[in-house]
Amino acid sequence: TVPNQPIECVPTVVVEDDRTGLSVETLKRAFQDNLFYIQGKFANIATQNDYYMALAYTVRDRLLRRWLTTAETHTHQGVRTVAYLSAEFLMGPHLGNNLISLGIYDEAKQAITELGLDFDALLQQEEEPGLGNGGLGRLAACYLDSMASLDIPSIGYGIRYEFGIFDQDIRDGWQIESTDKWLRYGNPWEISRPEWAVEVKLGGHTERYTDENGRNRTRWIPHEVVMGIPYDTPILGYKTNTATTLRLWSAAAAESFDFAAFNSGDYFRAVQQKTVSETLTKVLYPNDESAQGKKLRLAQQIFFVSCSLQDMMLILIRQGIPLEQFHEKFAVQLNDTHPAIAVAELMRLLMDEHGIEWDTAWRITQKTLSYTNHTLLPEALERWGMGLFSTLLPRHLEIIYEINSQFLDDIRRKFPNDDARLSRMSLIDEAGERYVRMAHLACVGSHAINGVAALHSELLKQDVLRDFYELYPEKFSNKTNGVTPRRFMVLSNPRLTNLITSKIGDGWIKHLDDLRKLEAFVEDADFRQQWRDIKLAIKQDLATYIKQVNGIDVDPTSLFDIQAKRIHEYKRQHLDVLHIITLYNRIKANPDVHITPRTFIFGGKAAPGYFMAKLIIKLINSVGDVVNNDPDVRDRLKVVFLKDYNVKFAQRVYPAADLSEQISLAGKEASGTGNMKFSMNGSLTIGTLDGANVEIRDEVGAENFFLFGLTTPEVYELKAKGYNPYHYYESNPALKAVIDRIASGGFSNGDTNLFNPLVSTLLYKDDYLLLADYQSYIDCQDRVSQTYLDQEYWTRLSILNSARMGKFSSDRSIREYCEDIWYVKPVAVELKEYVQAGT
């Protein structure tokens, strides 16, 4: 027998109830079995991690029947499947979420508690798979949850980084990075499938040849071949039988490739070759929204894209489906341009490996692919230097040249004599050094292009992708982002979930629009009291955590003002700091001034090479050191930087906020999704008209949203007429006093150098218009402080914010993608009594 082929005669497997039952008793027995048979431990030597693993395997066993039945159902019905290609999946811990989806959270808690263990501690034990940087990766994770919950045939394809996003520590106020060793103690959720490994070629050169039918063909002779091993993780939908797959590729040496080296005795070279292939999926690039142009990154992209497309082809080939039907069977979504090489790779596979002609291959490619753009920042637009690209992907470059030549002909037909347009739109940037433009490749090779919030999609059409919009207006649409209420409400905020469910039932968990029913209770004083009590209890928990980790006492009745997201100048964490210092200055000028007590909480990682972002972290901590310890402040203000912000931690933070800071410069944040998670949990928002804030405000009502700042057209106008930040500094005494306090060493023990790069950037450059928006922000914050004093009124706004967030469920987003872009329909999965293979 061949080890990677199914064998003819398969023994019957009967899945018995006492192995996978959902009662407290069966859960207990399975847990004890797993501790013994999988972890190989007696209880007296078992560690917390052993217990976590035993519970995780108990839960995984209960996913398998649904998962395998889902795959079998989809195969038998020959349905169209969504393949979501993303270089990042920021999944967060699986255990709690799977318990919620299975509907056995309470049973599991009871079972573990009755065994004398601390259930919450076991949940906390899980190392989260931090295989993403921020918004884009977390969105992919929310979309998998929604696709499964809506019974959409789907698969997520990505990279199994051995080291995910770095761990962040804070020392002396500075960010210190260390490697994230999430796989250290094993990962119970994944199943490796080495029998489905595929090979990916890199480097080398191409050759022409004539095939047996006399056709001219191209062959790629690679310099190197890497194996991709798939690791599958089941993603169960909420209270449904559909479990979708997250298939992550890990690179390994293709041993056979260097067999010659072994034979010739060059053992060392062969083993060295192995280490090269294994670095491919070692580490996630930690740069959020800034493209670095590194060869290894391009290698990661082609690696996971090629593995995924080959995998889809193998799925069809195994079923005897001709590849001419590829687009009927798969809708492939490109999560930003990281997988955009798929345009050329799908063409290559169809033509070079499967003998399909160019025109047919091109039609299949365009019908299969669609592209989501996630950023307006110019520095995030990916382009690859020609030298690097041609060395690594010589065949892809030929294909891209051919696509480009036909594409430019198209433009010439539609816009004759417009050379400027040709050079703007070309897939190759030839202005100076030559580059391949990945967003252009994605636009040309896809049938649909979308932005992630209404404003962002408009800006794509008017600005970033304007030429493409003029050429193909029919390709463009908006798909406003959403987030999953399962993880970000049910799992992370059980108290609020129970209160809501006690009033309106639990239908809202799958139909978030039902939250509107809460509006009927806004005038119910008891309800408002319960709502407030819950918020206070959650804030108390966070206060305890802050005391433990940061050693800072914070008052849970103070206004919890939270900004949690990647640190970036365009997100303007430092504008938040300018507000803190403004309040501090007011206190220093008059210690008896009235101040609404506030706790300012920050969380977020800075890209390790992004100096200014790291300096902002240092500034936050330095301001905290002064403000938190100044007796004049009398504990009315506290500033806390929470280290190592990640999904696990975000789940504790969103429910505890009174005020969510969404203060990016208008026209810079594509959507934001944290804004949605805060608001669902009853936080009010202070924000600009940027990204999805615009739509959040439309939903919750302008009177329930703290709006400030320039609009996008005003930003353009101000920049066009020549923005002079220094003018704002000179003419606003409060602002001047704030900047002067930083510049004069007020937060650096008199050192006037430390924050100089920040101060001079603000005074003389200020690309993100902090100084222009300062006064409007301060005035708005004063309204926030005033409003918070009336707790009854504040609670009404808080309830209305939650009640009106229905639109921002990722279920709504996924339905829109299914209807407008993917043309994929839900498929019900029926569980059979037994899983019986071979009968």
Minimum CB separation from ligand OAK for residue 687, in Å?
Answer: 13
Is residue 372 annotated as part of the catalytic site, yes or no? Answer: no
End-to-end Cα distance, the chain: 20
Please state, in angstroms and rounded to a whole number, the distance separating the CA atoms of residues 453 and 666: 13
Stretch in the footprint of ligand OAK (CB under 6 A) among 131-139, 251-259, 312-320, 440-448: 131-139
Query: Contact 671/133 with Cβ under 8 angstroms?
Result: no
Stretch in the footprint of ligand OAK (CB under 6 A) among 127-135, 305-313, 416-424, 583-591: 127-135
Residue 136 contacts ligand OAK per CB under 6 A: yes
Residue 139 contacts ligand OAK per CB under 6 A: yes
Residues in CB range of 519: below 8 A, 6 or more apart: 799, 800, 803, 804
Nearer to ligand OAK, 334 or 512 (CB): 334
Out of 62, 80, 348, 374, name the contact with ligand OAK by CB under 6 A: 374
DSSP for residue 821: I
Minimum CB separation from ligand OAK for residue 233, in Å?
Answer: 21
Residue 288 contacts ligand OAK per CB under 6 A: yes
Residue 134 contacts ligand OAK per CB under 6 A: yes
Stretch in the footprint of ligand OAK (CB under 6 A) among 54-62, 372-380, 634-642, 795-803: 372-380
Q: Which residue is nearest to ligand OAK (CB)?
A: 135
Please state, in angstroms and rounded to a whole number, the distance separating the CA atoms of residues 571 and 407: 37
Active-site option among 60, 374, 574, 643:
374
Stretch in the footprint of ligand OAK (CB under 6 A) among 89-97, 130-138, 161-169, 231-239: 130-138
Please state, in angstroms and rounded to a whole number, the distance separating the CA atoms of residues 488 and 504: 18
Query: Contact 350/326 with Cβ under 8 angstroms?
Result: yes
Is residue 510 annotated as part of the catalytic site, yes or no? Answer: no
Residue 289 contacts ligand OAK per CB under 6 A: yes
Please state, in angstroms and rounded to a whole number, the distance separating the CA atoms of residues 318 and 469: 39
Residue 375 contacts ligand OAK per CB under 6 A: yes
Residue 380 contacts ligand OAK per CB under 6 A: yes
Query: Contact 795/528 with Cβ under 8 angstroms?
Result: yes
Q: Is 483 left (phi over 0), alpha (psi -120 to 50) or beta?
A: beta
Nearer to ligand OAK, 127 or 336 (CB): 336
Stretch in the footprint of ligand OAK (CB under 6 A) among 302-310, 322-330, 670-678, 765-773: 670-678
Write out the two tokens for 314: 């193998």
Residue 671 contacts ligand OAK per CB under 6 A: yes
Write out the two tokens for 273: 């070759």
Amino acid at 680: M
Active-site option among 440, 479, 566, 568:
566
Q: In degrees, to the nearest 5, what angle opens at C-alpha 166 toward C-alphas 160 and 172?
A: 175
Residues from 165 through 204 that contact ligand OAK (CB under 6 A): none
DSSP for residue 474: G
Minimum CB separation from ligand OAK for residue 24, in Å?
Answer: 40
Is residue 181 annotated as part of the catalytic site, yes or no? Answer: no
Look at residues 44, 91, 62, 87 and name the one whose alpha carbon lies nearest to residue 487.
91
Please state, in angstroms and rounded to a whole number, the distance separating the CA atoms of residues 76 and 467: 43
Out of 222, 445, 672, 687, name the contact with ligand OAK by CB under 6 A: 672
3-state SS, one letter per residue, for 222-276? CCEEEEEEEEEEEEECCCCCCEEEEEEEEEEECHHHHHHHHHCCCHHHHHHHHHH
Residues from 9 through 28 that contact ligand OAK (CB under 6 A): none
Residues in CB range of 487: below 8 A, 6 or more apart: 92, 97, 142, 145, 651
Write out the two tokens for 245: 């797959």
Residues from 686 through 715 that contact ligand OAK (CB under 6 A): 691
Write out the two tokens for 457: 């999609």
Scan for tokens 């799908």, then name that residue.
Answer: 346
Residue 135 contacts ligand OAK per CB under 6 A: yes
Is residue 673 annotated as part of the catalytic site, yes or no? Answer: yes
Active-site option among 28, 80, 539, 571:
571
Look at residues 827, 831, 836 and name the one whose alpha carbon lies nearest to residue 77.
827
Give the total of residues touching ligand OAK (CB under 6 A): 19
Minimum CB separation from ligand OAK for residue 741, in Å?
Answer: 31
Residue 452 contacts ligand OAK per CB under 6 A: yes
Stretch in the footprint of ligand OAK (CB under 6 A) among 343-351, 501-509, 655-663, 667-675: 667-675
Active-site option among 673, 685, 688, 795:
673
Give the binding site for ligand OAK (CB under 6 A). 133-136, 139, 288-289, 336, 374-375, 380, 452, 481, 669-673, 691
> Catalytic amino acids?
374, 565-566, 571, 673, 677
